[in-house]
Structures are given as structure tokens and as C-alpha cells.
Structure 1
């Protein structure tokens, strides 16, 4: 999926009680109608490989995804990012189980819908983790067993399902594509029996990675078509080879490879010297479908889901060590609080704050959230700003603190917060901090003399 308006030229805390009976009935009826067979679990890692992430999407029919693993991207773009997700697509993404739900048979279904007025909705989920990359000298494999929306011909016009990854620096910035890297493991449009794989990098348009087309390849699905059955789509990022290479597979067959020596060293480093997060979505319309006949239009038939059996991440070799922080995040751009790399006591919910998206909540004394690789640059940061809200009862307050590189290090700055008028009554609070330069892991820690929750956080950043 493209994250700027220049799409590839060739192509481009709500519980179940909040979900409607209509959405539940929709998912159940799909399951009853003969859901595609799913494996009970993701396959065991091969010899020499270690599993570092998995979601088998096992759960009751009509329930949402596990928000410990995933966050919903909703609306028509990221806050402050390009409109229509930067691709020209026409749907509104939602967290409704009418669009994103488990089917009770071990599958996730992302289903585009069209209402009586012709408006489209669909779903887009992203891993909370943004640290997926190979260990030094090792390999990373990201794979999923998927059936594409089972619709073809005129009825498929405008369908654009995808399984892909974006570089961690994009989360909270939204203006640095394609330099931070994008790895498209699966893309498809118009219900054709083709899977596309692409790496995006460099500058746009043109540049060393031929943007907005990117460095891509494609093939047909072996055996059954991409739409008629499940296939396993995977990417192996290999730092044990020279040059380093990223390989794309369908059902174990390598059909496209991108090597570091295809671009200059700076372009490759900017695109790969950091972690990535994983995305699953079904877009409707946009530049890629437009290149194959357009849509959606009156002939397009809604309701055909992308069906996902599991998502699994494996790594091999390299000693399994985690690289030091490499400046994944810009200290001076909004860092979305829900994009943490680790946490304790933190939950995620939909926010009503300007720009939408999600915030973290249920924050009380002793809770914390980690944000890796925050780059402060060479000119010292002197200010911390956080977008916060509180519905804490009278007499309950606490400190929002910033610490560097360890949860037990002395805070470099903090501010006190009490009730702001409600858990979604937002204000931006500044605090002075000790001068900071360089790249650090940032911890937000929460301290209070009472056990009660006292703060929600939507985003934060720093200033000079």
C-alpha cells in the first residue's frame, strides 16, 4: 500500500457489549455459509528459527482482534498525514466488527462494506510492535496464510487487499515516506490471480527506488487461484548474505528479491536501519486499482473478506540480539502514545481528540510505556509536551515523568496532572526537561500517591 499520493504507477477500549447485533450476525452468517478451512495454529518454527510473534486469530465469532497485538487504524488517514491514506482510496477504515472480526474458525476477516448511500467502510489493523527486523548477521521471516477476497471480474473492481510493513519512523511522523522503507508482502487488485511484492525506499517521485512504482515483482498463485484458496505469503529479510537481501515468497517459492546493491548505501540504510510494523487491510479504490480498470463502481459487490489464518514472525541466527537505538523516531514530531514498544499496566482505546486514532489509558502509579530509538539530534531538547486527559476523582492526581534508557533512571522532567474534566477532555501540558541530545529509549512513567487511575495520554513530543 502506498503511503503518499503518488501510488505505484503499475498498480500504487470497546468491549463486546458495544458491538452491534447486526455486525455479529453478519460474521456468524459468513461462518455458517462455509468459511474456508483454517489451520489450528501457525506452523512450528523450522530448525534454527525462533518465533518472536504470532497471532492465530483464535477466538469467538464476532469478536475483535487482540489489542495486545494489534491497533486499529481508523478514518481516512493518519492524524496530520496525507488524505485517503495517501493512495486515493475511498473507504473509511473502522474498528467495527462489521469490518474487522474473528469468525470463530481460527480466521480473521477484514470485510469491505457499502451502505445505502454508496459509502464504503473497511478495516486496517497494525501491530503495536514496531521492532521487527533481523538481528545483526541473521534473518527475519514474516509470513501469513491468507485467502484473498473471493471475488473476480466486474464484481471485484476496486478491491485492494494487502499484507505489508512500514518502517517504524513512519509511525507518528507520516511525512517521511518512502525514505523510511515499505515492504509489501502481498498486494492484489481487481480479483486477478496475481500477487505483487514491492520494496519502497529513497525519494518520491523517481529516485533510486523508481518511485512511486518501487522495486517490485509479481507472480500468479500456484494451484488454486489467490481468490479461491489459502496461500502462504512470506518475506525473508536476510542480513547473513552479502549483499543483504529481502526475498518474497508465495507457498515457499521465491519469486522476487531486492538486494542492497541495487541502491546506494545511504538509501538502503535509511530504509532498513530500524524496525518495522505489520499491516493488514482491504482498501477500496485508489491508484493501483485505477491502473487496472478503476472502481469501485456500481458493479462492485461488497462483503467479500480478506481471510487471514495467522500472522507469524520468526528470526534466525545473529545471536538474537537487539540492536541499539538507531533513531527510529523523531523527538520533535508527535509520537503516538499507542505506538509503544513495551508497557506495563497500559490499555488502548479509541480517542475523541482532534485527529482521531487511539490513546493509552488506565494509567496509574507504577505503570509505564517504552518508546525506542527517539532521536533528539545535536541541538539540545529542553521541553516535553504531552496531550493528556483525566477523569480522576477529586483528590487523585499524579506525575507524568520522562526517563531515558531505563525505567529506574532519574526523570529528566515531569508534570503533575489532576482531573481535566473527563477521560476524553484533552489538554497539551508542557514541562521543562534537562537538556537532551543524541538517540535514546524514552520511558513515560506514571507516579501517584493513590492507587486510582489518573491519566490518559494521546501523544507526546519534545521541543528546543
Structure 2
């Protein structure tokens, strides 16, 4: 089986790790809800940081405030066939990705008269999903896998999974940036796979391209005939830090930081993640179980998603600040990790005053987007940012402000080099050309060297 390095792949899991987890009753209740149910109320001690119930008019697309479509057969400049050998073309057509009018999302693979497949792949705009320091994160979805089995299911590959934020815009740094597969299935088998990918490929501490995983049958009704709730719980309140995988409230797999070396774990987890829902057709994972994608495979059987929800607990409020639903005041503190979009940006826990997160891994060509920043009619002439740098000697760069496009001419900038460490913070001011009105603000990072050169905790503007 041909393999290509540096590409996210989901593979069958080989390691069985069985244990139990609290809150199982709540998840089991969620699994038993009717097909058009809303996401369940968070249990005591948990707060909801993201939800989509997929309510809307039948035949309409997803809410693009929450999701973006990944289309074609690869990311821009990324490996062909999504790096996994799958054969479909992903589209944003409502033939492939649409609400059903009953509170569900349907991702439907379709074969045309020429025998070519199209399907759908959506990803959260947000890339900042991770637990607060000392806390927990739960990512869950209630899903009915494509209801097809046997020969008619050959080649079907539905998935609910997450990729490390540094992958977006890079597309060559897998598996080091981490992949967390919450639910995968192939060939219409009554099984759910959960896997963590990390380290190097092939081989390495995470046994790539297989990863560290396990699989079990769906409890009660089969995975294909009914909805089940698939959950990841990432726990930073315990030592070693642990990531658990559950179906209908029963844990069937876990991975913890002691299973790999410290550098591998940090590279795979010390940043945010984004969430992906897709149905692939063909590729390495189905091939591992007999393949067989041909004219006998049934077209048009959807994966049906009732809701996706992300919850956070504990950690003393040190979590990531999400992007606001409305406008931003240019003259109030804007938390750097509350971006609406990014290229090459990671997040990490900060030791700066106030705690929370900062954006990190910032190097030449990276940027972060902050939408709907209101400068008013008087206008801003100053920019202030809280920054830190542990860059090597001779490495420096510019923190720039651009409006409405990451390639627009900067309205202002300042230079930064080593401040004494990646958590050694200082407040740096800069003059900017007068800005009025409401704009999308891009922080861009420019350097003559390829190495990371700055972290940013927060910024604001002044008159």
C-alpha cells in the first residue's frame, strides 16, 4: 500500500485500552434522544464553548460562521487525494452537504453517470479548541453513520475528527501537529475507531501511519442503523495528561502523555485544534479491510449529524477566548487567541498576568484575523501589543497591522527580537496611519528568517 509522508491519515487502530469515565449517564441519555434533538444541556461544572444543532431550512448549506468547506481533492498545495488515496471530489454543493430541515446535517457521497464520486468535508473556522490549563475539554457529536452495509458499503469512510491548528495553511507538518480521530468507520462495519496520530511518519513513537487507537462495536443498535454519541474528553486535570474516547458514554480508548516522549506530546497537543466532519470514498483505510469501491457500491447514503458540541470545565478560567459574536472595540483589549481565522498560528497557555492563552509559533508569512474591529470616527493612531520572544540570536521580525487583507500595505508595525524567553512578556507600542470605521484587522508576521520569532498575548489601539 503506497504511503506519502507528512500527511494526515486515519488508520485502523491496534491497541485496546478499556476503562470507565464519569458523566457516562449524560452521554447515554444524549444517544437515546430523537433524531432532531438539540445538543444536551452541559452537565454541572461544564460550559458550552461551541455548538451547532444544524437547525435550518431543508436543502440549505451549513452556517459559514461556524464552518468552512474543504473542496476539491486536496488542500491548496497539499498532497493529492487528501493524502489518503480517497477518490471523491469534495464540494460545497447541497447535493453533498445540506441541512435536512429536521435539525440534522447530511453529508452524502454521490456517484455520477460517469462513475465519479463527489462528497463533503466541512471544518470549523475556529482552530482554538483545547482544554484550559488544569481543566478539561469535551468534543462530541451525535451521528448516524451511512446506513449501508455489505458490498453496497464498500469504500465508505465517514469520520468525525480533529487536526492541530498549525496544520491549517501548512499542510505538510502531519503527524507532528497531532490528529485526534473521535469516530471513523469503513465498509459499513458495525465498529467505531478512535485514534491519536503524532510524532513522525512512518513509524515513530505513535506507530504511524496506524497511530495509537482502538475500535469496538457500537452498543445496542448498530452504528449504521441508529444515532450514537461519539465523544473525546481531553483531561489536563490529571497527571499524566490524558485523552479519552467514548461511544454513548462508555470509554473504549485512551492515550496519555506518558505513552510518548515529552517533545512528541507537546508538539501534538500544545496548541488548539479544529474539527472536521467528512465522508470519504475509497482510500487506504477501506483498502485495509478489502476495499472494493466499484459499481456495486451504493451511491447517495448520507452520514447524518444531529449536533456538534464543545464543552470546557475547570482550569480556573485559563482557557482560550473565543471570537466574539458581534463587533470588537478597537480601544479595548483584544485577546490574541480570539482570532476569526489564521495561517500558521498556534495557541498555548500563557504565564503572563491574567493567564489564559497566547498565540504562538509565529513566523514569516503567518497571520491572524480579527473581524469587525470598530475604530470609530475619531480614528486610531497607535497600536500596542503584548509580546514575548525566545528567538535565537540574529532572528527578529515585524509585527504588522493590515486592514481587510493579509496582503494589504501595513498601516503600522514594530520590530521584535528575543525578549528573554517565549513567556518573557513586554508591552510594545507603535504608531500607525490613522484608521477610522470598521475593519477586519490582520496581524501579520514578517521576518527575513524562517524561524518562529514572536508570541502575542493581546493588543489594542489608541488615539
TM-score by length of 2: 0.72
Q: Distance in 2 between matches of 1:62 and 1:129?
A: 24
Q: Distance in 1 between matches of 2:289 and 2:130?
A: 33
User: Relative to structure 1, is the Cα distance of residues 66 and 211 closer, same or farther in structure 2, using a 3 angstrom cutoff?
Assistant: same
Whether the 8 Å CA contact 2:119–2:279 is kept in 1: the answer is yes
Does the residue aligned with 1:65 lie in a helix, a strand or coil?
coil
For residues 373 and 311 of structure 1, the distance between their equivalents in structure 2, rounded to whole angstroms, comes to 34
Q: Which residue of 1 aligns with 2:227?
A: 230
Q: Deviations over 1:234-260 (max 9, x none)?
A: 000001111110000000000001111
Aligned to 1:56: 53
Q: Deviations over 1:117-165 (max 9, x none)?
A: 1111111111111111111111100000000001111111111100000
Deviations 1:228-285 (A, max 9, x none): 0000000000011111100000000000011110111111111111111101001111
Match of 1:427 in 2: none
CA deviations 1:175-221 (Å, max 9, x no partner) are 11111111000000010000000001111111111111101011000
Measured after TM superposition, the shift of residue 115 of structure 1 is 1.2
Q: 1:450 to 1:263 in 2, by over 3 A?
A: closer
The 8 Å contact of residues 329 and 373 in structure 1, kept in 2 or not, is answered as no
CA distance 1:77–1:310, change in 2 (3 Å): same
- Which of 82-91 and 192-201 deviates more? 82-91
CA distance in 2, matches of 1:318, 1:77: 37
| Residues 48 and 10 of structure 1: CA distance in aligned 2, closer, same or farther (over 3 Å) | closer
Q: Tell me if structure 1 keeps the 8 A contact 2:7–2:175.
A: no
> Aligned with 1:191: secondary structure?
coil
- Aligned counterpart in structure 1 of residue 364 of structure 2, from 311, 324, 332: 332
> Does residue 1:121 correspond to 2:118, yes or no?
yes
Answering whether residue 141 of structure 2 is matched by residue 141 of structure 1, we say: no
DSSP-derived class of the 1:319 partner: helix
- Find the partner of 1:381 among 390, 397, 401: 397
Q: Which among 173, 176, 187 is matched to residue 173 of structure 2?
A: 176
Check 1:450–1:238 CA distance in 2 against 1; reply closer, same or farther (3 A cut): closer
Deviation at 1:333, TM superposition (A): 4.8
Whether the aligned pair in 2 keeps the contact of 1:329 and 1:375 (CA below 8 Å) is no
Gaps of 5+ in 1: 13-35, 347-364, 367-371, 391-397, 402-410, 413-432
1:285 counterpart = 2:282: yes
Aligned-residue offset at 1:331: 2.2
Give, in angstroms, the shift of residue 296 of structure 1.
2.0
Residue 329 of structure 2 corresponds to none
1:12-70 deviation line (CA, Å, top 9, x unaligned): 9xxxxxxxxxxxxxxxxxxxxxxx95243100000111111100000000111111111
Tell me, yes or no, if structure 1 residue 462 matches structure 2 residue 433.
no
Please say if 1:242 is aligned against 2:258.
Answer: no
Structure 2: 5+ residue stretches without partners: 15-32, 320-348, 351-356, 381-385, 449-463
Return the alpha-carbon distance in structure 2 between the equivalents of residues 375 and 39 of structure 1. 49
1:101-112 alignment runs, 5 A limit:
101-112=98-109
Q: Is the deviation greater in 275-284 or in 319-328?
A: 319-328
Q: Which residue of 2 aligns with 1:301?
A: 298
Compared with structure 1, are the counterparts of its residues 297 and 262 closer, same or farther at alpha carbon in structure 2 (3 Å cutoff)? same
Secondary structure of 1:42's counterpart equals coil
Question: In structure 1, what is the Cα distance between the partners aligned to 2:390 and 2:117?
Answer: 41
Identify which of 155, 159, 176 aligns with 1:158.
Answer: 155
Q: Give me the whole-angstrom Cα distance separating, in 2, the residues matched to 1:326 and 1:75.
A: 33
> Is contact 1:172–1:333 with CA below 8 Å preserved after alignment?
no
Task: Provide the residue aligned with 1:434 in structure 2.
Answer: 415
Q: Does 2:43 match 1:46? A: yes
Q: Equivalent residue of 1:289, what SS? A: helix
Residue 359 of structure 1 is matched in structure 2 by none
Cα deviation for residue 10 of structure 1 reads 3.6
1:197 aligns with 2:213: no
CA contact (8 A) 2:398 2:446 kept: yes
Which whole-Å CA distance do the structure 1 matches of 2:281 and 2:387 have between them? Answer: 34
The answer to whether 1:344 aligns with 2:372 is yes
Q: Distance in 2 between matches of 1:166 and 1:275?
A: 9
For residue 139 of structure 1, give the secondary structure of its aligned residue in structure 2.
strand
SS at match of 2:263: helix
